Amino acid sequence: MTQTAPTVAKLGDLTVPLRIPESIASRFDVLTAGGANLNRAACAALAMAWTGPGRPKTRKSHDVLDYGGRVMDELTGRGLKPVQVLVAGVVAFNLITNGLITEDEVDEEEGNSEAPGDSTSL
């Protein structure tokens, strides 16, 4: 998990510095949650990756979707527009989830299942 250049997201007038969280489990949680609700997962990713001042005070939760919703509520409560939060969140989501699963790994796993055998039922 090497990050070559600092990544930032624009959030209204703020430039938010982002870093990849150390927890691989948290990163996979965000990836999985994105399949259910990308907006909330992106907001959670934004808070998890945000470094520096202004970071959401919302307490992190293992329920990524609930956490993302609370992050959205906090940031819009500060006067930010939802679309601003979502755009910054997508930048953070892409940063956090990039490289977790490669196409080669998916292809390898798909080829790892056995073909079904002959049916034993009548």
pLDDT for 6: 61
pTM of the complete model: 0.81
Average pLDDT across the chain, whole number: 88
DSSP-derived secondary structure for 49-95: HB-STT---SPP-S-HHHHHHHHHHHHHHTT--HHHHHHHHHHHHHH
pLDDT for 52: 87
pLDDT for 4: 53
* The two three-digit tokens of residue 7, written as one number: 């990544």
pLDDT for 64: 97
pLDDT for 24: 95
Whose structure tokens read 């994105």? 34
